[in-house]
Chain A
């Protein structure tokens, strides 16, 4: 054990599964997928016309302030989910705690929608006047800065960008700050909003996209489905959370990272394995305590069999007792928000003792021979759970959550 133990006491989420963490969790437990035809972009020229979009999000409903209305969608997602997580935590901030509160966010692309709209006007329509709000509303740290300003959090505040692992890296570093005494509370997570035609075409060009839906660990897996959204967690020392009688979803107990140092897009088996082992070591725990893994599980031939082999090597003889599911089958792959959405899913799974399933799974891939929790959620007490994120560029990040006994242990 290094330093203080850290509790998750608040969560927020916006996704294709609904406007808040309650809707998100209810859909996950029901095995209900939010993947459908893309509406925000004309999908008629796309080979892969489906996505996991946030529906019905109107900025004016959330932001009376005009400057906030002009924020890029990804930053708006960061702000609304931070508000939800902060309210959910029940934590009362005073000035001392505000000085000691960290905000750490992740995003893969930052304000790509705002940039795209304005570049279209610039290059396409020859309008060479750029709005003064573009830079501060589209910068990758726009979300973190907005959260800091709205709540007066004046501690360590920054943004990490590691593609599909961005928000897992963000949560991990926020966790270490609280554990090591660099902060006394943290709001951490990530957000992404990348539904633009050029982005979707660029993802299609990589030939990793599914023409219909996301089927992780399935014999019929056909690629990934892009998603959007955001999720945030409130972290605080376990001792002070207990003292104030907070509802504790789970202990955030470990964080591990690694790099493949091999290939830009094809994952190695060794990199993910070393990240999972590092996370368990960081949590001072072993594979014998692991009951659930929320997998990276993109539904691509590149990821899934490789991840399952790495998990198999990690767990050894214990592998058959561990449930492994991919919730991307329901909320899609939200890139920089993916790790945060899955961290919320994993913390809530530990809290409720319910394992969310892998949806869209009719026939398990013989190359993925573990318990991949097809279609139906499962009641099961979870002692320790991992949440995996493996990014393009070969960058891996893994979080370890642990059940907390209300009476203390």
Chain B
């Protein structure tokens, strides 16, 4: 799961900014990615993963590792809030 999220996040940045050299340890600053670039990339990440990144979290992001960790956190919260129908105990009950 982690590797897959990481790869999808990094490829959005690589393609958007034509920077194949992006790695998980890169920071936005060292690649010349500014605040508006970041906001545009986060918009694409929201679309890709079907999540909503809060403004205050968005402002505090400086590295790709932080972005990947943030996306994973939001995906985990989403799974808790909306458990897959077949896996939830209630759904299983109703299914009988």
Contact = CB atoms under 8 A, between A and B. Distances in A.
Contacts, number: 21
Interface residues of A, number: 13
B36 interface: yes
A266 interface: yes
B59 A207 contact: yes
A263 B36 contact: yes
Interface string B2-29: 0000000000000000000000000000
Contact of A301 (B36, B39, B59): B59
B34 A207 contact: no
Nearest to A223: B55
Contacts of B36: 263-266
A205 interface: yes
A301 to B, nearest CB: 7
Given A47-B55, A223-B55, A301-B59, A206 B34 contact: no
Contacts of A207: 39, 55, 58-59
A317 B96 CA distance: 79
Contact of B35 (A205, A211, A223, A266): A266
A264 B40 CA distance: 13
Given A47-B55, A223-B55, A301-B59, A205 B43 contact: yes
Interface string A264-293: 111000000000000000000000000000
Given A223-B55, A301-B59, A206 B35 contact: no
A205 B34 contact: no
**Pairs A-B, 9 closest by C-beta atoms:** A207-B55, A265-B36, A207-B39, A207-B58, A266-B35, A264-B36, A205-B43, A206-B39, A266-B34
